[in-house]
Amino acid sequence: MSSTLITGGTIIDCTGAKPKKNTAIFIENGRIAKIGASDALKAHALKRGTHKTIDAAGMTVMPGLIDAHCHVSYGDIGSVEELDLYTGVEFRAIRAAYNVKKVLRAGVTAMCDPGSTWNISVAVRDAINCGMIEGPRMASAGRYITTFNAIGSFWPTWMEHPRSSFAVLCNTRDEMITEVRREVKEGVDIVKVAGDGDAVQSHARESEGSLSLDDLRAIAETTHRLGRRCTIHARTGVVAAAAAEAGFDWLIHASYLNDAQLATILRTKTPINPTLSLLANAVDWAPELGAPTGMIDAYKRELEAAGKCLSKAHKEGIMMMAGTDSGQGAVPYGEWHARELEHLMNYLGLSAMEALKAGTINAAFATGMQDEIGTLTEGKFADLLVVDGDPLADIQVLQAKARLKVIMKGGEVVDTKTPLPERTVYAWEKPMLYWNDPRLPGQDYVREHAAKKPAWMKKKETRRAAE
């Protein structure tokens, strides 16, 4: 494997240390071998033999971004039907292999996938790790463990829960434990639980949650005994606090915490991945696209609530991890990963440095690889970005792909020049709607025109008259 010297840049190592100007990084065998003053390191690199040099003068060198919440198997879905029903496992897996490249090319060198249809996330992770396909380092969950009363159970009770769903129905504690065992056998890093509903479901904020503390304890205990970690979709405070109490490793969302629930999380010191991107994108742009106001209002309410309680949690020292929920239609792959850092500053009051840590070393916690990635530290993997600009002065520079001059994973520069093949979307990936086009005539039109016969009918009649 080749060696590389990156010279002259300002290093933000994301350990919390101040930026270091004119500092070099020497990379050997995919890892950061040495960090030091540019001149001294040039001499050291020469002694080590042939190597490539990257001139980062005037630029920032920082760890690669880490997205704590990206679903590779979803496929930028716009509906639950697309998520759960359409597209078989074979095409879905290949589509995921295509989409992870977009994630990597956005500067995301590692990610956590907290929930997959089939077992696609694990397969994509393994294909990346053995060098078959290009993508970020991944930590993977299987299907969510859900009940009739949480996300994932979208289908009416009179039909069988589909095998292709992103969730598996487990309404009893025994079923939950069995599912944890199955998923661990199938190679997951993470067990994901659906703890409650969604922002658009009116019951979400009041929900008591369908899982008892004992249910949650049983899941956490089994997961940990098998050497894995667990996380939970918990928008409501009651579920978030119960999961923290039960020993879940981190919480996803936790948007509606009252003071008592926050106190539980402060006591257990459970990290939180708020995932504001999906909500913020809906609030910022969905109105123009004609999205239903009920949905937009629900997202707005949740953003405001999350901003209030999670900024308190952050001030009290709870670790915040950046994650975007990419793979949902409102948050497509490769587009929004870096913007979550801006949301964390805007809604939760993080400083730019804190936001950078949220999107690197903190998010690394969700991958379980925090000792190997997430900071620029000697011995860690050389997963890094050379950025044309200073993200501490303007966090938005990370959102401009043209400013990411080098994306490096494991010491290898990612090819961002060769364009990815453009794809078209098949009709069978989408829901089957018979009459949803507003350009088609409504009933009023039909009634008005029923008297006048359509042209083809008239033609037939003239022919008949002529016979």
Kindly identify the residues of this chain, within the stretch 378-397, that bind Zn ion according to CB under 5 A.
none
- Closest to Zn ion by CB, 71 or 314: 71
CB of 90 to Zn ion, least distance (A): 23
Span from 136-144, 197-205, 318-326, 374-382 in contact with Zn ion (CB under 5 A): 318-326
CB of 327 to Zn ion, least distance (A): 8
Span from 322-330, 360-368, 417-425, 439-447 in contact with Zn ion (CB under 5 A): 322-330
Kindly identify the residues of this chain, within the stretch 244-263, that bind Zn ion according to CB under 5 A.
none
Q: How many whole angstroms separate alpha carbon 443 and alpha carbon 360?
A: 55
Contact between residue 33 and residue 443 where contact means Cβ atoms under 8 Å apart = no
- Closest to Zn ion by CB, 6 or 150: 150
CB of 322 to Zn ion, least distance (A): 13
CB of 252 to Zn ion, least distance (A): 7
Please state the separation of Cα 125 from the chain's center in Å: 15
Kindly identify the residues of this chain, within the stretch 419-438, that bind Zn ion according to CB under 5 A.
none
- Closest to Zn ion by CB, 84 or 325: 325
- Closest to Zn ion by CB, 59 or 72: 72
CB of 335 to Zn ion, least distance (A): 16
Cα-Cα-Cα-Cα dihedral sign, residues 191, 209, 283, 355: negative
Span from 75-83, 101-109, 325-333, 342-350 in contact with Zn ion (CB under 5 A): 325-333
- Closest to Zn ion by CB, 23 or 328: 328
Paired sense of beta strands 167-169 and 229-236, if any:
unpaired
- Closest to Zn ion by CB, 253 or 314: 253
CB of 326 to Zn ion, least distance (A): 9
Span from 48-56, 200-208, 283-291, 323-331 in contact with Zn ion (CB under 5 A): 323-331
CB of 420 to Zn ion, least distance (A): 24
- Closest to Zn ion by CB, 325 or 354: 325
CB of 225 to Zn ion, least distance (A): 26
- 148: tokens are 């009739």
CB of 115 to Zn ion, least distance (A): 6
CB of 74 to Zn ion, least distance (A): 8
Span from 97-105, 285-293, 320-328, 387-395 in contact with Zn ion (CB under 5 A): 320-328
- Closest to Zn ion by CB, 249 or 325: 325
| Residue of closest CB approach to Zn ion | 325
- Closest to Zn ion by CB, 28 or 340: 340
CB of 159 to Zn ion, least distance (A): 24
Span from 165-173, 324-332, 334-342, 363-371 in contact with Zn ion (CB under 5 A): 324-332
- Per CB under 5 A, the list member of 325, 335, 354, 383 interacting with Zn ion is 325
CB of 69 to Zn ion, least distance (A): 6
- Closest to Zn ion by CB, 115 or 389: 115
Q: At which residue do the structure tokens 């690199």 appear?
A: 45
Q: Which residues of 365-404 are buried (b: 16+ CB within 10 A; e: fewer)?
A: bbbebbebbbbbbeebbbbbbbbebbbbeebebbbeeebb
Q: At which residue do the structure tokens 């001149």 appear?
A: 39
Span from 36-44, 99-107, 321-329, 373-381 in contact with Zn ion (CB under 5 A): 321-329
- Closest to Zn ion by CB, 252 or 398: 252
Paired sense of beta strands 20-28 and 167-169, if any:
unpaired
Contact between 113 and Zn ion per CB under 5 A: no
Q: How many residues bind Zn ion (CB under 5 A)?
A: 1
- Closest to Zn ion by CB, 215 or 325: 325
Under the rule (CB under 5 A), what is the footprint of Zn ion? 325
